[in-house]
Structure 1
Amino acid sequence: MGNTTVFAQTEKETVLIATDTLKSNDIDPLTPAKAAFYSAILPGLGQAYNKKYWKIPIVYGAIGTSVYFYLDNNKKYHRYRDAYKSRLEGLTTDDLAFLDNDRLIAGQKFYQRNRDLSALVTLALYALNILDANVDAALLQFNVDENLSVKPVLYPNDVTFKTNVGLTLNYNF
């Protein structure tokens, strides 16, 4: 809606009716929930829904990296575990034969801890992906009209006649 003014003239008086001069943006309260739902189904889909396509490689890079470290640490954990189990059975034909039992146990604990940490990081990045889509969709509907402004202002003090500095929040109708 632009500036619209309606004039109506009758025999006795002239009536001036002015409508709202600001554009009315339609706000869909379900948009953030839809974006979060899409990102929960497939990471990056909520960012595509918000038309923030540049975030999709970041989402997949972050989640993919943490999944890679999870799989790598899991493989190394099982390698040390299997070597320790075969050592207990009396076999020393593995490629970790140069390590003693204490080193094999320490290696298991190290890679198990890193594997578990990688799983937590993966879940945190997945949740961050959902949260980003939700917040971004909510902020897309936020009013950033030019009639809203925060400006620094210099104004004189009535008592000391010195200049004061402050911020004013202006809303123009």
Structure 2
Amino acid sequence: MEMARKPLFFLMGLQGADQSVWHYLIPYLACYFKIVVFDLVFSPNVSPKLYDPKRYSRFSSYAEDLVCILDQLHVNKSIYVGHSMSAMIGSIAATKRPELFQHLILLSGSPRYLNVEGEKYYGGFERSYLDMVFNNIAHNFSGWVRDFAPKAIGGNDTTAIHEFERSLGRMK
């Protein structure tokens, strides 16, 4: 397949990780697609000077960054893969600029991860659990990384777990 004719496959970095999380898939995907990987602004690979807490307190700001990248690459159709927060970013970007996206592959996305009892909204997490997680991150970051990485990866792939631990550990 000629490179110019290959569809663009866009992989967004994961929250807490960088674009290297995709390195096992890229060789296979590259046979059929042009691949673009991108790190979110709070990724360990991105200069902290670029992160503006006020600007990036909304998914829409990340979606604007995504649209800007696709515009800079002169993309008119892409296959976008987003997980969790990146799924929501892709959804917002595709709503604003649908011509940039041929397909969205969205994994574990939610507009709000917090359950809201009175509204009968199930986002996945209770406030008390999230408060505990945030407390662990703030007061025992390395312990939280060691505990969270195997749960996030699932299974017993120690190489993948250690890679994710290293990436998470660089966030602090």
TM range (shorter): under 0.3
TM-score of the superposition, structure 2-length normalised? 0.18
Bigger radius of gyration: 1
- Which structure has more helix as a fraction of its residues? 1
